[in-house]
Structure 1
Amino acid sequence: MELTGRLAECSALGQVVAAVRTGESRVLVLSGEAGVGKSALLDYLVGQADGCRVTRTSGVQSEMELAFAGLHQLCAPVLDLLDRLPAPQREALQTVFGISAGPPPDMFLIGLGVLSLLAEAAEHQPLVCLVDDQQWLDRCSAQILSFVARRLDAESVALVFATREIGQVLTGLPEYPIGGLRDADARALLDAVLTSPIDAQVRDQLVAEAHGNPLALLELPRGLQLAGGFGVPGAVGIEESFVRRVNGMPDETRRLLVLAAAEPSGNDALVRRAAGLLGLRPEAAVAASDAGLAEFATRIRFRHPLVRSAAYCSASPAERREVHQALAAVTDGEADPDRRAWHRAQGAAGPDEEIADELERSAGRAQARSGFAATAAFLLRSAALTIDPVKRAGRALAAAQAELQTGAFDSAADLLTMAEEEQLSELQRARADLVHAQLAFLTNRGNDAPQLMLKAAKRLETVDVALARTTYLDALSAAIFAGRLAKPGGDVIEVARAAAAAPRPAVVRSADLLLDGNALHYRDGYAAGAETLHKALAGVGDGMTVEDELQLLWMATTSALRLWDADRWEQLSRRHVRLVRETGVLSNVALALTSLAYVSVFAGDLSAAATLTDEARAANEVTGGNLAPYGQLALAAFRGDRDETLALVAATEQDGTRRGEGIGLAFADWASAVLANGLGRYQDAAEAAERAFQDPRDELSMMLVPGELVEAAVRIGAIDTAHRACQVLGGMADATGTDWALGVYARSRAMISAGDTAERLYRDALAHLEKTRLKVELARAQLLYGEWLRRERRRTDAREHLRTAHASFEAMGLAGFAERAWRELQAAGGTARKRAVPTQSELTAQEGQIARMARDGLSNPEIATRLFISARTVQYHLRKVFSKLDITSRSQLDQVL
């Protein structure tokens, strides 16, 4: 297609096509006002894409509430490739596109499925995907395509958007603003459409008024009486020009254009049936076609989206209702119930309970496909047509909850306000409080959420005991996150008191035991809740639905950690990760992966922990999550990387303080203490551990911090502080009796003891910790025992334990502790080979992630799923890894990483 001017724009589009032909992927956003030529540039790109497969979709303003409509149009030509996708991704797309029934899939699993589908389509032929009028895409489609655009890399896929303005979903993507034509090109285009010569001044006036907008140059001269070439038309905008031309049509043609504009599918047969109901003859289409406004063929096409908008908006409200009623009457309620319901709603003159009920059913279908934006839209319209105030409030509340699922928090808040303007029932008020609380927790995990959840739980006690208890558990979780920054009335101890007084259910479930145990733990002290928590953890998963289990697993894993139950902690963490991967519920994946990463850290498998942390970071990035970098903190601290740890600590403290997430500050203090103990900076370690230890509302002050504090306090002579911390450890060890707790307690007691007592305690610590898989804790016990032996002048015995500790730390990659053990070993008269520091390769961060996962035995599709990229991108980066590391197979990765 030839264009007037646009050399730079055509060059940029040519580069996009050239890149995908070489195996790369490209994303480009063409932005500019209506009529500036974005669609023409997309048409040009199609003409240049020889040898490429092209698929295309367009946003339609009146179709914005139909979930995944635009995405379905884009993917329809390649849906025959669905069978090549991993099962969770394939099933997610089959559900959202209505191919088969299934549970509502996670939005990010849908995005990953679309990414994989496009990559498969480009396997043998480059793929060019065009999205016109992106500003009118349904929100679900827009979110998914934004996700895909940010993950494309080496798939031979081009994704080009055309939009009027860069909205939130496209922010940050490569943009090419499309401005008006230069004056010379504008004059050339105008001359090409004028049917008779005009005065130069008149032509200049037209060019000036058009501001280089090609559509204006094409449309403004139409129908103007130029007085023999010398008259000057009055200034008029493009949209006004189209409105004038539509209104200038015969009345029957104008009404037919209104009807066609109201039906976004462009189905000519459907529109003709509706036209028959309205008494509009087929001949009415001829005038619209002759005037160049629309083509009535197998599919109705308007000359430009502005013509559709002009036709629809120029009609009176009564005319619009009339055409929607006709379209509803001819739309098949079995084959397309949602479109029929939408037309009925647009055609309603006032409240109508029957239509409101139908819209509610459409909302249910949209929710089953994870079309939460469409769910909210249907429910909002349903609420507007509902007479019963209780039903109306309930539908507005449900719409707010659907908007929460999409991350549209401002819209959720507006819908919540709408619901609260009604006379709410007690249950509805409780649910409104719950939405308020969820909104606060999801937006920042901050210190507002516990109080709001507590308020909702108390109100729910009288109307839904089961939901009340679930909400109390959520409130405890939120209070744990708030930690030392909790607001008055919302700290974990006060929440625990309220939860302990909650009504008891008729049948006690694991969830109830988990709530009771945690409430007792925080209200009455560590030992009070231990027995109940052990029972709760033993029953997690028994007879539960996957959804119920997922809701409990984070609290269950943290409870196992607090009980020093290493086996259960690992078991539940692995179960949590497996379930979020299998179900695709990616909103919880970062938390699950972080828990398992900590299991790996304490087991001494830092490479596995790094892989899990990479995956958690990728999940956090693509889901827009705000989880602090807890996994990275632990890794950096145990590795002894001072610069990285301090940078992460500073960022976590700043972000945690801003959002009111006190647990982040506790983790930062704990990581600082671990780092400093490893490096032998005991004063720094004592100060950091003391900060975390002083507030019982901080989760880690109850468990991981006391051991660090004892070790540091003894070294700086703060024996009273060491005794105080050791006493806390003793209470936990007595209550749980696990080898982990008993080992760390014995190790800590040994440090504040002397003579035979100290030696017996060190040996007890080693005996207990050898029964666990916690290699880091065992190596630290070996180090402390060796240091004590050296100070007791038993140099031969000291060398044995210090050499063992040094070798363990070296093998695990705990560089700080390894250096400390090496110094002590030298002081004891021993020697040990220090492992050479591996040379840093030139791997990028993503290449490093992929290389570690490949080393751990994951296949390309598995790596792609976990890093939210395509398998082709994984293969592309692995080739670069092999080249940079000078290896030829995956089996060699373990030797070089």
Structure 2
Amino acid sequence: MRGEAGIGKSALLSEAAWSAAEQQLRVLRTAGVQSEAQIAFAGLHQLLRPVLDQVERLPQPQRGAVLAAFGRTDAAVPDLYLIALATLSMLGEVATQAPILLVVEDAQWLDRPSADVLLFVARRLAEEPVVMLAALRDGFDTSFDGGGLPELALPRLDRASAELLLDRRAPGLRPEVRQRVLSEAAGNPLALVELPAGDVTAPTAMLPLTARLEQAFAARMSGLPVATQAVVLVAALNDGDALSETLAAATVVAGEQRTVDDLEPAISARLVQTDGERVRFLHPLMRSAIHQRASLGQRHRAHAALAHVLAHDDDRRVWHRAASMARPDEAVAAELEAAAVRAQRRGGIAAGVAAMERSAALSSDPALRGERLLRGAELAFELGQRDAVVRLLTAAERLELSGRQRWRTAWIRDSFDDGVLGRAQAAWSLAQVAERAAAEDPDLALNLLYGAALRCWWTEPGVEARASVVAAAGRVPVDDNDPRLLVVLAYTSPVECGEVVMSRLRRQPGDLDARALRMLGNAAMAVGAFDLAAGFFATSLVELRTQGRLALLARALTLQAWSCAHLVDLNVAVPAADEAYRLARDTSQPVVAATARATQAVLAALRGDQDGVYRLAAEAEAWAMPAATHAVLSAVQFARGLAALGDGRHEDAVADLRRIYDPADPAYHQANRCWAFGDLVEAAVRSGRPEAVSGLMAEMTAVARRTPSPPLQHGLRYARALLAPDAEAQPLYEATLQADVGAWPFPRARVQLGYGEWLRRQRRVAESRAHLRAAREAFDASGTIPWGDRARAELRASGETSRRRVPDARDQLTPQELQIAQMAADGLTNREIGQRLYLSHRTIGSHLHRIFPKLGIASRSELRTALQPSV
């Protein structure tokens, strides 16, 4: 629910909670508090506190993640999304006892980790007896924005409803006062209730409504006893709601005992309420009004008292201590730095940013201030918070930074947005900085070069910039087989460095971790070694899933899908691309999401889904075009060209694919042009315009002398056969068929189809049938429907009838259902599948319940047979 302050969000949530409790639902509540936004997982802990006893029912990795996030153990939190999965699992367990309503008030003030977890959970509640209601105040940027959740916008009351409410709550107002309240409230329910209690004759109409309401609350505060005002001020500044904490801190401020009796006047004035254990303001504006009304000295004393009372809680204590400081204090700055480290270990990166920034502000040593600003910027960079990165770097650059700090500044500033946005010449400048950093800090140099290499991959910085990155990489003192070095070379110069990268990829040891495997997969993908890339990614995914590293998992899945799309392994590519897109959205990675969408467009082309191709391609293009993201735009054109080729629209295919080879076109890409050449030549030949590629034939032949890229080498062999005169074609087709294509059955089937067509045109019909049959069977097995239909049509023309293709699981199941069915066929339980896919076991069960009738089976034991491709 969205709306302005006072529009009735809290009232609606309270009504929903009351109704749910009446119907025997279990109600779990949390509320964002401005001062709590720096404490990682504070909101989530408040929500789950009543059911934390259920944590023991979770699998160990999830149990450990939750306990670490809530500070119950000293272990580092593995990843925020493992905590999210644990939260989903815990709610699922609790919901077996009674349905659950989750109520989230003032979600705009939730700490970022809690908000991210709750958004993740909300997207996965469809199969659970759990409902989440969250209230957001207008004017705030939150994790929920664009989250895809249903929204209810609450408007102001119309005139008749406003009059009815006012007359019920404040009957007997003089006509001029009643008219003034109606005018100033302007349909805001809270204003209609609260403004009559204040001085409505004061000239406040020029103030914003929230300010007028705060004045009304502040005026109510001024009539309270001094002791009550002190207790209420402490409660307003406390980031917790425990009554005992508030009374203890108020006692410290006053120097004499304060009790719950001191709160009674504030309760009577409808400022706060308490159940004897917790104290709660009736509206968040009351808290801010009291905060603004207090003097700076009063606030400092209250924060200092809270810090004294919270000696047992290091994180909360240091924030209150910092809020009580009027001047720099190195001891407090150091404590805040330690709090930032703890927040980072617990997965609270946003809290770490805030702690580092405040620590820098309290630093008396300029060198320490600069270092803390840079560390804060690095954490903000990790979160993708551009404004925070710029603000912190700008502050740091005003100081006297060391050479290494300046290098780090360059890396953070110029490597933002995965190398997509910003100045194209940044690749060159990063290479220069990396050269200076190489001897002193090789790891930093490789980070700088990775940022430069990403720019070379996503955009087109020019030959000189690419050469400077490769040269700088050669001067970094690391092992030649270092995966970080290989991905820099492959992304920067996939043609010139292709042979070196491929030879080193084959020399890699077998005991690498997920990070190294993912980098090797990136490098293999960039140079066209898609079979190697698919293997590296498949191995890395196991560890990434276990660690709950969803951002990296989304990237690995995207490139696994892209590699398997080129291998035409649709059983892997289709579910990988679907999951990659969903996770990229969950983890706010638009570049990855666009790449996954472009990959899905390619897969739709291979399947013959013409509508899907153009819809998915348009989505990817809409993001990639403003940023001139060459890699995504070339993938979009590849998908469109492949779709046109499969549909027999050969002129369109030439026009679409030709753009990938034009250096002046934003779809031009050095690597992608190596992968689509056979398709372009086939489209040109079938359109009757082979001359359209004659110049490119010479160009790509020269490129092939510099790289062993398998798709380019095969594409050129196929192109030569297609372009050859009839007297020379046969040996070229046969040589192409005899070439080792390893894990590339689809390109071989394409050649068999082309050779069979050529043989039939030469009136060698009997010879053509064997090749056409083999092509048909390969296309049916791979699920490439348009090419299978073409092979059938050619066989019919040769006088042979083919049986109709039988739809298989890929035709009947959604990508996610296919993935779940494959895992179940491999023997995984519902819980194990849920843990891998970040879904609850109940959701997996619901999917299987729908999968079985689609496949015409009744049990898991039949899945493996049902998933076999129809041939």
- Normalization by structure 1: what TM-score? 0.83
Q: Could you tell me whether the CA contact under 8 Å between 2:505 and 2:524 is conserved in 1?
A: no
Cα separation, 2, equivalents of 1:406 and 1:838: 42
Separation in structure 1 between the aligned mates of residue 81 and residue 407 of structure 2, nearest angstrom: 30
Pick from 682, 689, 704 the counterpart of residue 675 of structure 2: 704
* Structure 2 CA distance for aligned equivalents of residues 642 and 385 of structure 1: 60
Displacement of 1:661 in angstroms is 0.5
- Which whole-Å deviations, capped at 9, do the CAs of 1:762-810 have from their partners, x for residues lacking one? 33332334x6232211211211221232233322111111122122212
Question: Which residue matches 1:262?
Answer: 237
Of 370, 391, 404, the residue aligned with 1:414 is 391
Cα deviation, 1:173-222, whole Å, max 9, x if unaligned, reads 3215275564334433446xxxxxx6765884696466676656665666
Are 1:37 and 1:215, in contact at CA under 8 Å, matched by a contact in 2?
no
Q: Does the residue aligned with 1:688 lie in a helix, a strand or coil? A: helix
Q: Which residue of 2 aligns with 1:353?
A: 330
What one-letter code is carried by the residue in structure 1 that aligns with 2:782? Answer: M
Partner amino acid, structure 1, of 2:152 = E
Q: Is the 8 A contact 1:220 1:238 kept in 2?
A: yes
C-alpha separation in 2, matches of 1:844 and 1:179: 42
Offset at residue 351 of structure 1 (A): 0.9
Amino acid at match of 1:318: G
**For residue 660 of structure 1, what is the aligned residue in structure 2?**
628
The question of whether the paired residues in 2 share the 8 Å contact of 1:516 and 1:529 is answered with: no
Whether 2:223 is the aligned partner of 1:248: answer: yes
Q: Which residue pairs with 2:167 in the alignment?
A: 187
Q: 1:85 to 1:450 in 2, by over 3 A?
A: farther
Partner of 2:310: 331
**How far apart are 1:46 and its partner, in Å?**
2.7
SS at match of 1:597: helix
Question: Contact 2:250 / 2:258 at 8 angstroms: preserved in 1?
Answer: no
* CA drift at 1:547: 4.3
State the alpha-carbon separation in 1 of the partners of residues 127 and 492 from structure 2.
54
Match of 1:195 in 2: none
Unmatched segments (≥5 aa) in structure 2:
205-211
1:315 is the counterpart of 2:294:
yes
Code of the aligned partner of 1:712: A
Per the TM alignment, residue 726 of structure 1 is displaced from its structure 2 partner at its CA by 5.5
Superposition deviation, residue 704 in structure 1:
1.0
Pick which of 747-756 and 635-644 moved more.
747-756
Contact 1:393 / 1:422 at 8 angstroms: preserved in 2? yes
Deviations 1:851-873 (A, max 9, x none): 67767776544554566543323
8 Å contact kept, 1:480–1:492: no
Residue 561 of structure 2 corresponds to residue 597 of structure 1? yes
Change over 3 Å in CA distance of 1:459–1:249 after alignment to 2: farther
- Separation in 2, partners of 1:817, 1:805: 8
- 1:187 alignment partner AA: D
Residue 450 of structure 1 contacts residue 491 of structure 1 at CA under 8 Å; is this kept in 2?
Answer: no
Instruction: Note the C-alpha offset of 1:97.
Output: 1.7
Distance 1:215 1:643, change over 3 A: closer
Aligned 8 A contact 1:722 1:752 in 2: no
CA distance 1:154–1:566, shift in 2 (3 Å): closer
Q: CA deviation at 1:314?
A: 1.7
In the alignment, what sits opposite 1:612? 576
Match of 2:249 in 1: 274
Cross-structure match for 2:24: 51
Q: Which amino acid aligns with 2:637?
A: D
Q: Which among 652, 671, 676 is matched to residue 639 of structure 2?
A: 671
Within the candidate set 775, 782, 788, 1:812 is matched to 782
Shift of 1:362: 0.3
- 2:524 matched residue in structure 1: 557
| C-alpha distance in 2 between matches for 1:554 and 1:359 | 39
Identity within the alignment, %: 34
* DSSP 3-state at the match of 1:129: strand
- For structure 1, the residue ranges without an aligned partner over 5 or more in a row are 1-28, 192-197, 225-231
Q: Is the CA contact 1:537–1:556 (under 8 Å) kept in the aligned structure 2?
A: no
**1:821 alignment counterpart:** 791
Give the aligned partner of residue 762 of structure 1. Answer: 733
Closer, same or farther: CA 204–275 of 1 in aligned 2, 3 Å: closer
Contact 1:513 1:532 in 2 (8 A): no
What amino acid sits opposite 1:401 in the alignment?
E
Equivalent residue, structure 1, for 2:804: 834
Q: Could you say what secondary structure the match of 1:177 adopts?
A: coil
Assess if the C-alpha contact under 8 Å between 1:253 and 1:284 holds in 2.
no
1:11-160 superposed matches below 5 A: 29=1, 31-34=3-6, 36=8, 38-39=10-11, 41-42=13-14, 45-49=17-21, 50-85=23-58, 88-160=61-133
Distance 1:703 1:841 in 2: 30
* Change over 3 Å in CA distance of 1:649–1:244 after alignment to 2: closer
One-letter amino acid of the structure 2 residue matched with residue 82 of structure 1: V
> What corresponds to 2:758 in structure 1?
788
Q: Which moved more, 1:460-469 or 1:52-61?
A: 460-469
1:539 counterpart letter in structure 2: Q
User: Which residue of the partner structure matches residue 177 of structure 1?
Assistant: 154
Bigger Cα displacement from structure 2, 846-855 vs 254-263: 846-855
- Give the corresponding residue for 1:621: 585
Call closer, same or farther: CA 1:478–1:223 in 2, change over 3 Å: closer
Over 3 Å counting, the alpha-carbon distance change for 1:506 and 1:466 in structure 2 is: same
Tell me which of 702, 718, 722 is aligned to 1:751: 722
* Corresponding residue for residue 227 of structure 1: none
Instruction: Kindly state the Cα deviation for residue 382 of structure 1 after the two structures are TM-superposed.
Output: 0.8
What is the match of residue 587 of structure 1? Answer: 551
Q: Is the 8 A contact 1:500 1:520 kept in 2?
A: no
Q: Give the deviation of 1:845 after TM superposition.
A: 8.1
Matched, 1:380 2:360: no
Q: How does 1:181-220 map to 2 (within 5 A)?
A: 182-190=162-170, 201=175, 204=178, 208=182
Name which of 452, 457, 471 aligns with 1:475.
452
Q: Which amino acid aligns with 1:555?
A: N
Relative to structure 1, the CA distance from residue 534 to residue 235 in structure 2 (aligned partners, 3 Å threshold; closer, same or farther) is same
DSSP-derived class of the 1:130 partner: strand
TM superposition score normalised by structure 2 = 0.85
Find the counterpart in structure 2 of residue 500 from structure 1.
471
- Paired positions, count: 839
Q: Counterpart in 2 of 1:9?
A: none
Q: Shift of the alpha carbon at 1:308? A: 3.2
Contact 2:13 / 2:133 at 8 angstroms: preserved in 1? no
CA distance in 2, matches of 1:35, 1:674: 53
Distance 1:503 1:877, change over 3 A: closer
Residue 208 of structure 2 aligns with which residue?
Answer: none
Q: CA deviation at 1:155?
A: 0.7
Q: Are 1:457 and 2:429 counterparts?
A: no
Q: Does 2:364 correspond to 1:393?
A: no
- Structure 1 residue aligned with 2:840, among 861, 870, 876? 870
Preserved contact between residue 446 and residue 661 of structure 1 (Cα < 8 Å): no
| Alpha carbons of structure 1 residues 303 and 319: separation in structure 2 relative to 1, 3 Å | same
Aligned CA distance change for structure 1 residues 670 and 735 (closer, same or farther; 3 Å)? same
